Structure 1
Amino acid sequence: MTTRWGILGPGRIARTFARDLRLVPGAELAAVGSRSEARAAAFARELGFASAYGSYEALLADGSVDAVYVASPHALHVEHVTTALEAGKHVLCEKPITLRASDAEELFALAVARGRLLMEAMWTATHPVVLAVRQSLRDGAFGTPRHLHAELGFVVDAPPEDRLNDVALGAGALLDVGIYPLTFAHLLLGEAEELTATAVLSESGVDLGIAIAGRYQGGAVATMHGSMSSWSSRRADIATDRGRLVLEDFHHPSHATFTPTAVGGTNDDVDRGASVRFEGAVPVIGRGYAHEALEFQRCLAEGLLESPLVPHAQTLTIMRQMDGLRAMVGVRYAGDG
């Protein structure tokens, strides 16, 4: 089955996604739409899209487009996803799907009513290495998880009007990068029972860095960090009662490593066994974004209205967590109640 893809909003993340999309079997690069015809044409030439449009409306009116990847700024997702669904398109929307959970609920309801697949582009949840780690933990291969730590951060060097700095467009470390550690913890530990956070805010009210602590099911705790003002290690560690599991770059993992610890060790006398490296059940394609497209296309082929790997309930759970954390640290967007 061929899926004819359209890109709405040819920005940085759309370019990265499109490069991986070219590697996906069954994906046809059909069209790109931008508010600038010149920008759309340049993007189409660079990445091999068949058509380019100088408006989103023209893209969505193209009958050759089956599915649309929405890559506009967060604050515009509700408008653009709604328009795409009403135009009869299936939609893969960049994360976070909306600024708040209530908006996401409305979009999912609309998608179901229209009989269209709507999936958040949370590619971490479709990544082969992350899936392998999750399954191995569920199978008890590494013991019982007791603590998870994950961090992701980079330095934003952009003008105030850039979407990464503009609170009106949904800027902030939590929604841009903190969502990844939160999702990673949710995938591996289950739903959080309690979350708390502290953050550093800019003068305009954008969270530049956020630290989150959580308690999870089964007696596990987690520490998570997202930053737009510092370069983090991008590492994730899961400590269990039998050893330590490490992903050196959990955002773009190539593998995971488990190092067992012998029973009876103490804080001062630890006997560690040989580390075991393992990868996903299938090779990582490109930068890893291809796997969300593969999952989306699989769901289309099977007639599913939501992905089992990125279900609506999971997206809404993380959105509600971020709603609570934003309120806790004092980050507000237009439209917040």
Structure 2
Amino acid sequence: MAPIPFGVIGTGWITDSYIVGAHATGEWLFSAVSSRSAETGKKFAAKYASANPNINVHTSVEDIAADPSITTVYIASPNSLHYSQAKTVLSAGKHVILEKPATANLKQLEELFALAYSKNLILIEAYRHVQEANFKILKSAISTKLGAILGARLDFCQLSSKYNDVIAGRQPQVFSRQYAAGSLVDLGVYNVSAAVDLFGSPDKVDYVPYILPQTDGADGSGNLLLKYPTFPVNLTISKIFTSTAPAVEIYGEKGVLVAPTLTDIESVTFIPSGKNTTREELAGPKEPAELNLKEEAADHARIIQTADWEGVKKWEALSRGVVKITEAARRQNGIVFPGQEFEG
């Protein structure tokens, strides 16, 4: 099949990563960019001129949505714009790859999927870490190595370069409720999506956030407890400190699975229960850091090219599970995003 011609909304580092990974699959061709600044858009497009010298530059979402040279749009704008921009692109008849978090609440997510299905279009939220080969090895080992699950810990704690702005009294977008941001819905979607993919949806959610006093009420870190029928899963999330402990531990009657990180996993170790046991390394090769979005881009292309609606439903179920948890956690703590107040 010919490569899928696609456009992007947003010119940040994650967009670069997606384009590089997408081109590495051989299944995509970057063909259009939308930026508020024409100059920024031109500079961004110029980086990829060797792959495509005819990249269209737009300065509005409406224009890229109407661009006849593309069939798909990857959206990586600020969180608060995801819903409206995805709605515009879908309404114009384009498939959408939507960076996480897809939407701020379930109502918005359901509306976007309903619109996509009504137009026979594909909408996928981009969860790159659960697409990684070693994450899939970790998932498989839960059923083959552990026996009955006793509990788990999934952490993602990464100091943001923008935290110094917060300390200095400024309000960066990633620490602002005005932009539907904060630790839980930014980094936290990694932990939460991993938990839902590995264990399914929990019965109960409890979130204890640290609300940054210098901000408009955004959470800088927090502890999220997911309660399953027979075991708990603890998630620590932070954009204001970095943890040095292993990010993943899954406990079972027969042993424990350990991974050093939740993304870009290089090692998956099974440690059997008991003394004097031999550790077993399960991980295989991983993509290099510069191609860490290649695996998800390959799956996105496959789903679009083959009209794999079962695949769409799979990722929709994950998106629904994640937003239900984050919305419940925010509701518990009164973390309300403008224009997205809780109902009931």
Q: Given the two structures, how large is their TM-score scaled by the length of structure 2?
A: 0.89
Q: Which digits, 9 at most, give the CA deviation of each residue in 1:265-284, with x for residues without a partner?
A: xxxxxx1422111235x753
Query: What CA distance in whole angstroms lies between the structure 2 residues aligned with 1:70 and 1:272?
Result: 50
- Aligned-pair Cα RMSD in Å: 1.9
* 3-state secondary structure, aligned to 2:186: helix
Match of 1:167 in 2: 177
Where do 1:190-229 residues align within 5 Å?
A: 190-203=200-213, 204-217=216-229, 219-229=230-240
Is 1:246 the counterpart of 2:280 in the alignment?
A: no
Task: Give the unaligned 5+ runs of structure 1.
Answer: 263-270
Between stretches 36-45 and 155-164, larger displacement belongs to 155-164
Query: What CA distance in whole angstroms lies between the structure 2 residues aligned with 1:306 and 1:30?
Result: 28
Query: What CA distance in whole angstroms lies between the structure 2 residues aligned with 1:272 and 1:38?
Result: 63
Tell me how far 1:170 sits from its aligned partner: 0.9
Candidates 69, 75, 93, aligned match of 2:74 = 69
Query: What CA distance in whole angstroms lies between the structure 1 residues aligned with 2:227 and 2:58?
Result: 48
Tell me how far 1:308 sits from its aligned partner: 5.4
Tell me how far 1:125 sits from its aligned partner: 2.5
Is 1:134 the counterpart of 2:139 in the alignment?
A: yes
Is 1:26 the counterpart of 2:34 in the alignment?
A: no
Check 1:252–1:8 CA distance in 2 against 1; reply closer, same or farther (3 A cut): same
Query: What CA distance in whole angstroms lies between the structure 2 residues aligned with 1:47 and 1:151?
Result: 35
Is 1:315 the counterpart of 2:319 in the alignment?
A: yes
Query: Do 2:156 and 2:238's aligned partners in 1 also have CA atoms closer than 8 Å?
Result: yes
* 3-state secondary structure, aligned to 1:164: helix
Where do 1:26-65 residues align within 5 Å?
A: 26-48=27-49, 50-51=54-55, 52-65=57-70
* 3-state secondary structure, aligned to 2:25: coil
Query: Do 2:175 and 2:220's aligned partners in 1 also have CA atoms closer than 8 Å?
Result: no
Letter in 2 for 1:181: N
Query: Do 1:6 and 1:59's aligned partners in 2 also have CA atoms closer than 8 Å?
Result: yes
Query: Do 1:125 and 1:309's aligned partners in 2 also have CA atoms closer than 8 Å?
Result: no
Query: What CA distance in whole angstroms lies between the structure 2 residues aligned with 1:54 and 1:315?
Result: 29
Tell me how far 1:57 sits from its aligned partner: 2.5
Query: Do 1:195 and 1:215's aligned partners in 2 also have CA atoms closer than 8 Å?
Result: yes
Tell me how far 1:310 sits from its aligned partner: 4.6
Is 1:79 the counterpart of 2:80 in the alignment?
A: no
Letter in 1 for 2:193: T
Tell me how far 1:188 sits from its aligned partner: 1.6
Query: What CA distance in whole angstroms lies between the structure 2 residues aligned with 1:301 and 1:283?
Result: 25
Q: Which digits, 9 at most, give the CA deviation of each residue in 1:194-230, with x for residues without a partner?
A: 121101112311011110112224x121110111111
Is 1:231 the counterpart of 2:242 in the alignment?
A: yes
* 3-state secondary structure, aligned to 2:109: helix
Query: Do 2:209 and 2:223's aligned partners in 1 also have CA atoms closer than 8 Å?
Result: yes
Letter in 1 for 2:260: E
Tell me how far 1:287 sits from its aligned partner: 4.1
Query: What CA distance in whole angstroms lies between the structure 2 residues aligned with 1:7 and 1:161?
Result: 26
Letter in 2 for 1:201: I
Query: What CA distance in whole angstroms lies between the structure 2 residues aligned with 1:90 and 1:302?
Result: 13
* 3-state secondary structure, aligned to 2:173: coil
Q: Given the two structures, how large is their TM-score scaled by the length of structure 1?
A: 0.91
Match of 1:93 in 2: 98
Match of 2:332 in 1: 328
Query: What CA distance in whole angstroms lies between the structure 1 residues aligned with 2:58 and 2:97?
Result: 19
Query: Do 2:197 and 2:318's aligned partners in 1 also have CA atoms closer than 8 Å?
Result: no
Q: Which digits, 9 at most, give the CA deviation of each residue in 1:24-75, with x for residues without a partner?
A: 2211111211111111111112244541223322222221212111001111
Task: Give the unaligned 5+ runs of structure 2.
Answer: none
Is 1:279 the counterpart of 2:297 in the alignment?
A: no
Match of 1:267 in 2: none
Check 1:309–1:246 CA distance in 2 against 1; reply closer, same or farther (3 A cut): farther
Letter in 1 for 2:172: D
* 3-state secondary structure, aligned to 2:185: helix
Letter in 1 for 2:15: A
